């Protein structure tokens, strides 16, 4: 909801595209980590890289991108984003399936 709204403003389109690109990159890294065997060599190295990318992205969003976006958002934009966010949250919660896949050994 945020980035599609921010992307519509020509002044903020470039950094919105950058943020969306980062999200796609992180999605791929997370999918790759999930598909790997956690006990395989290199998994921890991959996860470490994913963690670094994720934390860098969050820092950039919170200290730069969100602040820039906020400068351009109207009240109408904010109402729209709230509506989209709440609808998506409700749908995702309703569709969520929790599966316990890992059994921890007693210590």
The model's pLDDT over 12-68, given as tens digits with 9 standing for 90+, comes to 888 889 889 999 999 999 999 999 998 988 999 999 999 999 999 999 999 988 888
The DSSP code sequence of 9-74 is STTTHHHHHHHHHHHHHHHHHHHHHHHS-TTSTTHHHHHHHHHHHHHHHHHHIIIIIHHHHHHH--
| Statement: residue 102 has pLDDT above 80 | no
Compute the distance between CA of residue 75 and CA of residue 5 in angstroms, rounded to an integer: 12
Tell me what pLDDT residue 107 has: 67
| Statement: residue 3 has pLDDT above 90 | no
| Statement: residue 91 has pLDDT above 80 | yes
Asked which of 6-10, 67-71, 102-106 is least confident by mean pLDDT, the reply is 102-106
Tell me what pLDDT residue 59 has: 95
Tell me what pLDDT residue 97 has: 87
The model carries a pTM of: 0.70
């Amino acid at each position: 909801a945020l980035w599609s709204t921010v992307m519509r403003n020509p002044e903020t389109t470039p950094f919105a595209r950058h943020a969306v690109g980062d999200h796609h990159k992180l999605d791929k890294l997370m999918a790759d980590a999930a598909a790997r065997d956690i006990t395989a060599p290199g998994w921890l190295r991959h996860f470490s890289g994913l963690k670094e990318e994720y934390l860098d992205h969050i820092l950039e969003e919170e200290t730069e991108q969100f602040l820039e976006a906020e400068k351009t958002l109207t009240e109408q934009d904010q109402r729209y984003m709230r509506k989209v966010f709440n609808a998506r949250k409700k749908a995702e919660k309703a569709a969520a399936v929790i599966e316990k896949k890992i059994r921890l050994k007693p210590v």
